[in-house]
């Protein structure tokens, strides 16, 4: 799964990188090195123009992490829908409508996963070491997502607070190397497929399914980071600073220095 990630690019930088317009209600978002569910973060999506339904606009919008389907009775369901399995998107009631028309890109510097080492704490439980997983060149990861718009029917329709925009991150099987840390990983959309993925008119299920694959070998790197990231109240660039690797997922060959550089 993907339960924490970092996103530090400014809305203006994301607008330029993804060739997207800032949404009218887009606030100035601070860099976040410890994004957790329920936080409001930037999302890239494509919407039809209200003035011209034939026109579409790619937007940077601030959206809440944790998808709330339009049919939900209340927003608390979003706490359980932070990830969506790529294998069942077209069938699951929580995701199939969004998968058909409301696909998104979740920009990230990288994401965190935890590896259960052989060490034990005072209660005999495995000590989990967080790893930060990122592109080798530190470029922005475009994680695949879905978004929904939910209305709180206890409030008037013209009340801005009655409407919640929310999203989920799509996960797929991790590559063999990434799988040493965790068996699932966010699905990444290559730049040359952004337009296809975001376009609400893309309805070829076979074409969409071809995008739902693990990251190509060598597309990601990982290194261990401070356990400070375990507490969502902690934030700042120190969370992504590398630590000396104490416990390597997978044994190194005899006489070889362990490394998790290229995944």
* Positions marked catalytic: 2, 113
Closest CA to 218 of 172, 259, 263, 261: 263
The answer to whether the beta carbons of residues 54 and 79 sit under 8 Å apart is: no
Burial 186-208 (b: 16+ CB within 10 A, else e): bbbbeeeebebbbeeebeeeeeb
Q: What does DSSP assign to residue 175?
A: P
Helix (H, G, I), strand (E, B) or coil at 251: coil
- Sequence-separated (6 or more) residues with CB below 8 Å from residue 8: 31, 32, 33, 109
């Amino acid at each position: 799964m993907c339960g924490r990630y970092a996103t530090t690019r400014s809305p203006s930088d994301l607008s330029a990188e993804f060739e997207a317009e800032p949404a009218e209600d887009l606030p100035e978002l601070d860099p976040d090195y410890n994004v957790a569910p329920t936080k409001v973060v930037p999302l890239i999506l494509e919407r039809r123009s209200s003035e011209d339904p034939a026109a579409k606009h790619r937007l940077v919008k601030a959206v809440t992490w944790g998808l709330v389907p339009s049919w939900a009775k209340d927003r608390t369901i979003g706490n359980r829908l932070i990830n969506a399995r790529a294998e069942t998107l077209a069938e699951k009631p929580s995701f199939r409508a969004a998968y058909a028309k409301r696909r998104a890109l979740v920009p990230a510097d990288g994401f965190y996963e935890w590896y259960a080492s052989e060490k034990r704490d005072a209660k005999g439980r495995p000590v989990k070491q967080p790893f930060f997983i990122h592109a080798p060149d530190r470029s922005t990861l475009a994680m695949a997502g879905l978004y929904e718009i939910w209305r709180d029917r206890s409030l008037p329709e013209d009340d801005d607070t009655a409407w919640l925009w929310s999203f989920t991150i799509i996960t797929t099987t991790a590559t063999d190397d990434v799988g040493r840390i965790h068996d699932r990983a966010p699905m990444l959309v290559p730049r040359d497929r952004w337009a296809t993925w975001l376009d609400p008119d893309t309805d070829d299920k076979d074409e969409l399914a071809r995008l739902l694959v693990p990251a190509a070998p060598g597309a990601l790197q990982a290194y261990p980071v401070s356990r400070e990231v375990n507490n969502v109240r902690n934030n700042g660039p120190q969370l992504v600073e590398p630590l000396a690797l104490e416990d390597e997922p997978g044994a190194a060959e005899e006489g070889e220095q362990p490394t998790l550089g290229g995944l």
